[in-house]
């Protein structure tokens, strides 16, 4: 069990560019979450997958954001036409449904800076 892995750890991009982040959950975990954390704030829920199905999306997830989990394993979060307001830490977490509702394990996050 290597925990939840996120790649890259840091990303600097110019405004208007597209970026993609990857999350590899704990292998047997069937639930996967994305959260966003801006400076001075707690993490905010973005979206949730159970296996490959995206079951819930926050209103924070604008049309420029898309997340996938194609085979119920790793997940990607893409941001198109990045804006300075997208600068944040993007956190991925996973859990196993049978552990109880909130047995989250968080990754170390991807810090995005839009310049």
Partner 1 sequence: AQSVTQPDIHITVSEGASLELRCNYSYGATPYLFWYVQSPGQGLQLLLKYFSGDTLVQGIKGFEAEFKRSQSSFNLRKPSVHWSDAAEYFCAVGTSGAGSYQLTFGKGTKLSVIP
Interface contacts to partner 1, rule CB under 8 A: 4, 31, 33, 35, 40-45, 48, 50, 55-56, 91, 93, 95, 100-102, 104, 106-109, 111
Minimum Å distance from CB 26 to partner 1? 13
> What letter does residue 100 receive in the DSSP assignment?
-
Contact 58, 91 (CB under 8 A): no
CB of 74 or CB of 104, closer to partner 1: 104
Minimum Å distance from CB 16 to partner 1? 27
The dihedral through the CA atoms of 19, 9, 93, 32 has a sign that is: positive
What does the alpha-carbon distance between residue 42 and residue 20 come to, in Å, rounded to a whole number? 22
CB of 20 or CB of 50, closer to partner 1: 50
């Amino acid at each position: 069990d290597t925990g939840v892995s996120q790649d890259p750890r840091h990303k600097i991009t110019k405004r208007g560019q597209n970026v993609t982040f990857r999350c590899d959950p704990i292998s047997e975990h069937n639930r996967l979450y994305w959260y966003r954390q801006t400076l001075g704030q707690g993490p905010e829920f973005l979206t949730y997958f159970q296996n490959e199905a995206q079951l819930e999306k926050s209103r924070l997830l604008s049309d420029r954001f898309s997340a996938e989990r194609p085979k119920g394993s790793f997940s990607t979060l893409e941001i198109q036409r990045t804006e300075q307001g997208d600068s944040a830490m993007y956190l991925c977490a996973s859990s196993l449904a049978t552990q109880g509702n909130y047995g989250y394990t968080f990754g170390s996050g991807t810090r995005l800076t839009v310049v």
